[in-house]
Amino acid sequence: MHTFTLPDIGEGLVEAEIVSWLVAEGDPVGLDEPLVEVETDKTVVVMPSPVAGIVVRHGAEAGETIAVGAVLAVIDDESSENDEAGSAAVVGTDDLPVFIEEDPPLVGSFGKGSTILGPRPQGSGQSGNPVLALPLVRKLARDQGVDLAALTGTGPNGRITRADIMGAVEQKADMAVPGSATRQSSPVVAAGTDSEVVPMTKLRRTIADRMSQSWAEIPRVTTFDDVDATRLLQARKALSLRHGQNITLEALVVKAVVPVLGEFPEFNATVNGNEIILHHRHHIAVAVDTPNGLMIPVVHNAGELTVLEIAAEITRLSGGASDRSLVADDMSGGTFTVSNIGAVGGGHGTPIVPLGTTAILSVGRARDSAAVRGGAVVVAPMMPLSLSYDHRVIDGALGRKFMARLMENLAEPALFLV
């Protein structure tokens, strides 16, 4: 038996959520064939099987969360002990031990003379059998007020799953509303109220945790301004026409901000205790609005790329963020962040500084407004800028100097395109 544990597939990964199993219990799997989809804090990853054999046990159900180092799957690789016995018999899932309550999984092999123990009693359900459920499922039942003993589990060996719990909750909610039909939608209506209880996805929980931590740790200051984007928009159009590809506004903003970060390195830094780490490379994170929530992939070494290369990379990262196909490296290592809220019609805002960085720039939608040129009032596309920064590292005067130099670049693209 080969015990496959959840590896650390990203920077500081602690746990992952099972999205779906691609090979069912009892089915064969080949070496390096897709076995399971797991969702980390940053992305969805398809994990291949480390050996060829029969999947005899899943370590968790879809929707459940397991820690790094916990058993992900047990695979019978039909190795030496089966060969010695002269057969390739596979241990059936009904014969495997069931781990319940807080007991840790037993890691090992079923060798000659081994005794397979059944589950110990944990109370009886409707059929008089023990109530089998993982700790996460038991916690969900307590939170939702569901009596485990009243349920019939649909999992292996009659184990109660998360789906069984949520089904009971929905049934209870429907019974509380006279004349209501069975509902097909996933949100759960709280009994006796007009409210909905919608469980957070893994990504949404991660966003919530990171935003709360940033808000608690980083004393943020935001400075605002507007820049005449006439020349910037003209340059974008001319480049797109000349090269036959869409040059995103973010690509030009990233290219404009890199030399300013070189001049003011405090904005491309990390606070580490009583030290400030000034990064010499510019890994620019770009906020992407996706159907699953906000994601911030990273354009690595942006200072070494041309505008065309930056535009192509942003297009790749945006598509990968939307379909959750990015790898961990694509989502890691950002030293400064650009957020184009103008893409969804936004103007000024107060962006939260991402953890591990000291600043974030938000760019709003350019709108025709009154502007002064050469002493005359004209109509020009004015683009809102909002710069949030860590006040532990950056003082207000430095923040204004950074903004002034950035506005010079955005107003005249020739200053950063040379």
CA pair distance 68, 87, nearest whole angstrom: 34
**Active-site annotation holds for 282:** no
Phi, psi (deg, nearest 5) at residue 77: -90, 10
* C-alpha closest to that of 190 among 201, 203, 177: 177
Q: Exposed e or buried b for every residue in 326-347, given b needs 16+ CB within 10 A?
A: bebebbbbbbbbbbbbbbeebb
The gap from C-alpha 161 to its chain's centroid, in whole angstroms, comes to 24
The beta strands (E) that lie in 136-286 are given as 188-189, 196-197, 220-228, 269-272, 275-278, 284-286
- CB contact at 8 A, 92 and 116: no
CA pair distance 405, 38, nearest whole angstrom: 44
State the residue for tokens 């602690």: 14
Terminal Cα-to-Cα distance of the chain (whole angstroms): 62
Sign, CA dihedral 61-65-71-76, equals positive
The beta strands (E) that lie in 59-151 are given as 65-67, 71-76
Q: Indicate which residue of 2, 279, 348, 391 is catalytic.
A: 391
33: DSSP letter:
-
* C-alpha closest to that of 359 among 334, 329, 384: 334
> How many other C-beta atoms are found inside a 10 Å radius of the C-beta of residue 184?
6
The 3-state DSSP class for residue 64 equals coil
CA pair distance 50, 30, nearest whole angstrom: 9
- CB contact at 8 A, 134 and 60: yes
**β-pair type (293-295, 288-290):** antiparallel
Residue 315: partners with Cβ closer than 8 Å, 6 or more residues away: 246, 248
Tokens of 303: 């200072």
Q: Show contacts of 33-37: CB within 8 Å, 24+ apart.
A: 35/4, 35/73, 36/72, 36/73
- CB contact at 8 A, 105 and 71: yes
Active-site residues, by number, are 391
